[in-house]
Structure 1
Amino acid sequence: MRAEIVTLALIVGAFTWAFRFLPTRADLSAMPRGGALARFLAATGPAAIATLFTASALPYLQAGVPLPLICGTAAVLASYALSRSVVGATMAGSAAYGFGVWMT
């Protein structure tokens, strides 16, 4: 294995760990609500979800849009729009995706 790849993997791994671990240890009580750091931290969750969705959906889209992807995505969007619950939307999307797999 090339040293550049190992070095890159270690750097990315270290920053991923720091990005996940350090906010749990930081005292954010004194942080202003409308500040730049607060907006950054609030935006990372949706950005991560969008990135993971795109990375998982692209292989499906190359072969055509399958029924499970349509069912799961529609269920997540509809459930979240109605309830504003991330947990409910996740559960509805999982159930709908499973139903779509069962139907095909």
Structure 2
Amino acid sequence: MPALTMTPATRMGLSISAAVGLYGISFGALAVGAGLAVWQAQALSLLMFTGGSQFGFIGVVGAAGSPLTALSTALLLGTRNALYGIQMNALLRPAGSPGCSRRT
């Protein structure tokens, strides 16, 4: 029987999958512990862009904060992370990025 070999891309994909899976399990446990139903935790994962926003929302809800306060927290964190992303894109100038050319 031939030995299974994994490419570097496969190994990287598996390590990222493990990290993201553990992150998701943690978020789900905290969301249910804060009083949300499983479908509500799934909806948050589907609708919120950043993990920081998700955990911020759950933190406020878990501390008996109002849903409006939780949503405001999540929006502020998401906006902050979007601005970080824009700044990093301008700084790193990845190939194929809109508005960035590699002509030097």
- Asked if Structure 1 and Structure 2 have the same fold, meaning a TM-score greater than 0.5 normalized by the shorter chain, the answer is no
Structure with bigger RCO (C-alpha 8 Å, 6+ apart): 1
Q: TM-score range by the shorter chain?
A: 0.3 to 0.5
State the TM-score, normalizing by the size of structure 1. Answer: 0.37
State the TM-score, normalizing by the size of structure 2. Answer: 0.37
